């Protein structure tokens, strides 16, 4: 007889997932919550949060490294919160995958995912060469470093930028869609890309129409990250595949962590929207 610990119906198990918009403004929270509500499984409760970072800091994007530097600790602290509050998965909603390794170290049994790695894992099953549509040239080096870190650099056909900053993407959807359309066309015809990743979570709302037009996979970063987190949470319940805590994945022990005092303050969660189980 084969011994197994597989849970037969993981979809019957209630799951909790935490999604962080890693800025200290709430403007995108409802839009992201609505997107997730459209695609989540019925047994999953999702908490969409943004950060509580006090004034005068006011971040609506992480385009610049100096902006990003302000959210490394809050994102990590929320991973510690997820570990201690029954969350099965934690999604970091920025394509730079900010603080991903730090969050994974301290997340307990919660599986941590982020958009860049999630999108790369998905697109690698669908094509041999992909391009990434980004906002401005500034992003290229940092994202290329991430792709190299994950081992996908040989499959990257190109970056194509649309000349828009993060805060511009949702201001005029028609302008944004047309700009992405031109970038996708160039990526296919010039760079020979076989699939496209939209390289920012705020490029949401554009993949479906363009995917139908061009007839190739176009990966939306929000859906890629959320569905990867949800699938990982299901795998944890069904197969017991939770984060390892050996060697490089070992967190500080409880005594050292308490003495450090780093998580002694309030959890840096600001606005919260809960998408309930249905």
The answer to whether the beta carbons of residues 89 and 15 sit under 8 Å apart is: yes
CA distance 183 to 160: 6
The answer to whether the beta carbons of residues 126 and 217 sit under 8 Å apart is: yes
Domains identified in the chain and CATH numbers: 15-114+223-275 (3.40.50.1860), 117-220 (3.40.50.12500)
**pLDDT tier for residue 56 given thresholds of 50, 70 and 90:** very high
Taking the CB of residue 229, how many other CB atoms lie within 10 A of it?
A: 29
Judged against a pLDDT cut of 80, whether residue 9 lies above it is answered with no
pLDDT at 8: 60
Q: What are phi and psi of 190, to 5 degrees?
A: -95, -45
pLDDT digits (tens, 9 = 90+) for 99-139: 999 999 999 999 999 999 999 999 999 999 999 999 999 99
pLDDT at 4: 58
Mean pLDDT of 9-32: 93
pLDDT at 5: 62
**pLDDT tier for residue 3 given thresholds of 50, 70 and 90:** low
Mean pLDDT of the chain, nearest integer: 96
Q: What is the DSSP pairing of strand 44-51 with strand 269-275?
A: antiparallel
pLDDT digits (tens, 9 = 90+) for 153-180: 999 999 999 999 999 999 999 999 999 9
Judged against a pLDDT cut of 70, whether residue 21 lies above it is answered with yes
CA distance 267 to 211: 39
pLDDT at 12: 75
pLDDT at 26: 97
């Amino acid at each position: 007889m084969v011994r197994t610990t597989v849970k037969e119906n993981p979809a019957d198990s209630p799951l909790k997932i935490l999604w962080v918009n890693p800025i200290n403004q709430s403007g995108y929270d409802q839009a992201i919550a609505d997107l997730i509500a459209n695609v989540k499984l019925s047994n999953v409760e999702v908490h969409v949060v943004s950060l509580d970072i006090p004034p005068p800091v006011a971040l609506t994007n992480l385009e610049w490294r100096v902006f990003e530097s302000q959210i490394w600790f809050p994102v990590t602290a929320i991973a510690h919160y997820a570990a201690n509050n029954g969350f099965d998965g934690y999604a970091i909603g920025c394509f730079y995958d900010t603080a991903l390794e730090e969050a994974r170290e301290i997340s307990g049994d919660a599986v941590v995912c982020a958009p860049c790695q999630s999108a790369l894992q998905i697109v690698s099953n669908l094509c041999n060469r992909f391009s990434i549509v980004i906002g401005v040239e500034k992003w290229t080096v940092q994202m290329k470093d991430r792709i190299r870190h994950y081992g996908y650099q040989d499959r990257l056909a190109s970056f194509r930028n649309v000349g828009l900053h993060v805060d511009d993407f949702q201001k005029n959807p028609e302008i944004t869609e047309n700009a992405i359309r031109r970038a996708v066309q160039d990526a296919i015809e010039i760079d020979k890309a076989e699939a496209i990743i939209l390289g920012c979570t705020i490029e949401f709302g554009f993949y479906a129409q363009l995917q139908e037009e061009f007839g190739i996979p176009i990966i939306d970063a929000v859906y890629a990250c959320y569905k990867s987190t949800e699938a990982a949470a299901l795998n944890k319940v069904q197969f017991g595949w939770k984060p390892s805590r050996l060697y490089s994945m070992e967190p500080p022990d409880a005594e050292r962590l308490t003495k450090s005092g780093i998580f002694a303050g309030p959890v840096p969660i600001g606005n919260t929207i809960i998408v309930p189980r249905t």
